[in-house]
């Protein structure tokens, strides 16, 4: 695979960065995306659920403050819900949100842990999904391997991630906003020493394009891979099945 410019994703740096912006994370997500990030998770969950086994546990990898887990909770019944993230501050906010959401005793477990070493047995989940998290994981391939390992045969693996719109004018305008405006406002509001809102555009611009992610999924043996660009391609959902005939783990 092509060599990319290096973005420092050492686990300690990334964890500290998310710990430090945790109190601002949800607000700034909704602010910078004009609330569209909610729609992205909602649309992604709807699409994933429409094409997967209608039962079994769901894992939200790099769950952060739990928005994807909550979306699964809203759109499903009678499942077990798990979320894992290595930033304790992000998880704490997620736990408070889950508590406020009246989920009538449905089991939801958000926990602190590493996406590169998931503390679950192989084949535990019907759906293993990650939203805006894979880009931050120190080793993309190993992260995907772990997602694949803990997914059941015929289960679904899904990645929702930022991407760049392809239409020329939109792409130029978006790059300007993303590189020049967002980091200044983000750093001003969520003052943090780890430059989180400079890291955000840098990490998106240097991360795999949707086509490259599709290749990675294919190499793992994931089948029926589909992609859905959202909002002119500012985000892309990629998902597929862990097919019994290709089971490497
Ligand atoms: C941009 S946030 C996304 C949070 C959430 N999924 C959402 O949709 O808003 C990325 C998250 O990935 C987590 N993360 C990055 N690398 C990780 C790793 N190796 N293990 C667990 N969590 C990780 C960070 O702590 C952070 O909470």
Handedness of CA 76, 81, 117, 90 (dihedral sign): positive
The predicted pLDDT at position 103 comes to: 65
Q: Say how many Å lie between the CA of residue 88 and the centre of ligand 1.
A: 11
Beta strands in the chain, from DSSP E residues, in sequence order: 58-61, 81-85, 108-112, 125-131, 151-162, 222-230, 235-242
Q: What predicted TM-score, i.e. pTM, was given to this entire model? A: 0.92
Least Cα distance to 63 among 36, 35, 97, 34 occurs for: 97
Task: Show the domains of the chain with their CATH numbers.
Answer: 11-243 (3.40.50.150)
Dmax over Cα atoms in the chain, in whole Å?
Answer: 51
Ramachandran quadrant class, 172 (left: phi over 0; alpha: psi -120 to 50; beta: rest): alpha
Each residue's pLDDT, cut to its tens digit, for the chain (249 residues) gives: 444 556 788 999 999 999 999 999 999 899 888 899 999 999 999 999 998 888 999 999 999 999 999 999 999 988 999 999 999 999 999 999 998 886 667 889 999 999 999 999 999 999 999 999 999 999 999 999 999 999 999 999 999 999 988 888 888 888 888 788 888 887 778 776 668 888 888 889 899 999 999 999 999 999 999 999 999 999 999 999 998 565 444
The predicted pLDDT at position 122 comes to: 98
Candidates 230, 238, 63; CA nearest to 136 is 63
C-beta of 157 in contact with ligand 1 (< 6 A): no
Query: Candidates 17, 18, 186: which one to mutate for ligand 1, based on the most atoms within 8 Å of Cβ?
Result: 18
């Amino acid at each position: 695979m092509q060599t990319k410019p290096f973005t420092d994703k050492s686990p300690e740096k990334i964890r500290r960065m998310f710990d430090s912006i945790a109190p601002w994370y949800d607000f700034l997500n909704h602010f910078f995306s004009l609330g569209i990030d909610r729609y992205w998770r909602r649309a992604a969950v709807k699409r994933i659920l429409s094409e997967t086994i209608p039962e079994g546990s769901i894992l939200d990898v790099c769950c952060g403050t739990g928005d994807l887990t909550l979306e699964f909770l809203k759109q499903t019944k009678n499942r077990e819900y798990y979320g894992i993230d290595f930033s304790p501050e992000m998880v704490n906010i997620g736990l408070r949100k889950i508590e406020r959401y009246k989920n009538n005793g449905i089991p939801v477990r958000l926990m602190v842990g590493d996406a590169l070493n998931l503390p679950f047995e192989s084949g535990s989940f019907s759906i293993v999904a990650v939203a805006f998290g894979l880009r931050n994981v120190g080793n993309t391939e190993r992260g995907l391997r772990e997602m694949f390992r803990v997914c059941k045969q015929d289960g679904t693996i899904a990645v929702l991630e930022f991407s760049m719109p392809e239409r020329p004018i939109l792409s130029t305008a978006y790059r300007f906003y993303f590189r020049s405006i967002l980091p200044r406002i983000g750093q001003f509001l969520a003052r943090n020493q780890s430059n989180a809102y400079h890291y955000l555009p840098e990490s998106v611009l240097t991360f795999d394009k949707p086509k490259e992610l599709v290749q990675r999924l294919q190499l793992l043996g994931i089948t029926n891979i589909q992609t859905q660009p959202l909002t002119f391609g500012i985000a892309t959902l990629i998902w597929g099945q862990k097919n019994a005939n290709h089971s490497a783990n």
